[in-house]
């Protein structure tokens, strides 16, 4: 094992020093999802939980196909390439690797940041969307009312943050271990996981997520996207966050 791989393994494998920190409550391996296309390596492309046309007219089938089968697949393939020379990366929870990026050598740090960040972000993204999303209820709705000022204010501020994100990036709702919500943005494929936080939900504002249908009208995409949110899945993620079992 190389020195850098050993440092990452020790940092992210649940040693007592890490387990004693408040953030360790979230440390849990994420089981790999079934591969949608043949790939070699420890990182796999999760299958979409719905057909590519299921989110129309809000997100068109061609966009979903390219976004999942090309963009997300490219992040997975890049990570499997890195794992050939750094196999320990394939044995650790994704969220732990991202939380310990500074332990990586410079020759792979940027590659892992961009591609493992992209893999984590998109894995979350496909999960929290669906054709019959319904409305938030129960604990999630109570948290939105308490922390984000209710649904109308929440959607307005989320859309505003996503619209103001310069260039490529994401707008997220983070969730703390006590269930508190906050809106945050990140550039490129960065993620709050890199700061030891957990993501309840988020929207991709890279142009590849919307340009075929919306062209330069990102605000229109942000507004339409709410029709695709699967609130039952968001509720599951919220419960997992509070239980300390939410991964990516």
- Identify whether 52 is part of a domain: no
pLDDT value of residue 121? 98
How many domains does one find in the chain?
1
- Identify whether 218 is part of a domain: yes
- Identify whether 73 is part of a domain: no
pLDDT value of residue 50? 98
Q: What long-range pairs does 210-216 form, CB within 8 A, spacing at least 24?
A: 210/59, 210/63, 211/63, 212/60, 212/62, 212/63, 212/66, 213/59, 213/60, 213/63
- Identify whether 237 is part of a domain: yes
Helix orientation angle between 138-148 and 231-243, rounded to the nearest 10 degrees? 80
pLDDT value of residue 37? 53
- Identify whether 164 is part of a domain: yes
CATH number for 181 = 3.55.40.20
pLDDT value of residue 7? 54
- Identify whether 153 is part of a domain: yes
Residues in the chain: 248
| Cβ atoms of 119 and 97 closer than 8 Å | no
pLDDT value of residue 197? 98
Give the whole-angstrom CA distance, residue 76 versus residue 46.
Answer: 10
Classified as helix, coil or strand, 173 is strand
Give the whole-angstrom CA distance, residue 136 versus residue 133.
Answer: 9
| Cβ atoms of 238 and 179 closer than 8 Å | yes
- Identify whether 158 is part of a domain: yes
| Cβ atoms of 98 and 120 closer than 8 Å | yes
- Identify whether 188 is part of a domain: yes
Give the whole-angstrom CA distance, residue 248 versus residue 238.
Answer: 12
Residue 156 lies in domain = 138-243
Q: What residues in the chain have per-residue pLDDT under 70?
A: 1-39
Helix (H) or strand (E) run with residue 75 in it:
helix 73-85
pLDDT value of residue 6? 53
């Amino acid at each position: 094992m190389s020195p850098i791989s050993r440092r990452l393994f020790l940092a992210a494998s649940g040693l007592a020093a890490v387990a004693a920190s408040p953030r360790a409550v979230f440390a849990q391996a994420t089981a790999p999802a079934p591969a949608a296309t043949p790939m070699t390596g420890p990182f796999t492309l999760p299958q979409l939980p719905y057909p590519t046309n299921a989110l129309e007219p809000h997100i068109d089938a061609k966009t979903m196909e390219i976004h999942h089968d090309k963009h997300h697949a490219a992040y997975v393939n890049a990570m499997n390439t890195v794992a050939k020379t750094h196999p320990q990366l394939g044995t650790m929870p994704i969220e732990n690797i991202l939380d310990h990026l500074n332990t990586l050598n410079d020759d792979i740090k940027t590659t892992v940041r961009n591609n493992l960040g992209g893999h984590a972000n998109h894995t979350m993204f496909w999960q929290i969307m669906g054709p019959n999303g319904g409305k938030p209820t129960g604990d999630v709705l109570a948290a939105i009312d308490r922390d984000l000022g209710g649904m109308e204010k929440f959607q307005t501020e989320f859309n505003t943050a996503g619209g103001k994100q310069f260039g490529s990036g994401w707008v997220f709702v983070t969730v703390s271990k006590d269930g508190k919500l906050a809106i945050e943005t990140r550039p490129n494929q960065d993620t709050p996981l890199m700061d030891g936080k957990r993501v309840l939900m988020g929207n991709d504002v890279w142009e590849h997520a919307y340009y075929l249908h919306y062209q330069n009208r990102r605000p229109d995409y942000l507004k339409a996207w709410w029709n695709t949110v699967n609130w039952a899945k968001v509720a599951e993620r919220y419960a997992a966050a509070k239980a300390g079992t939410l991964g990516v």
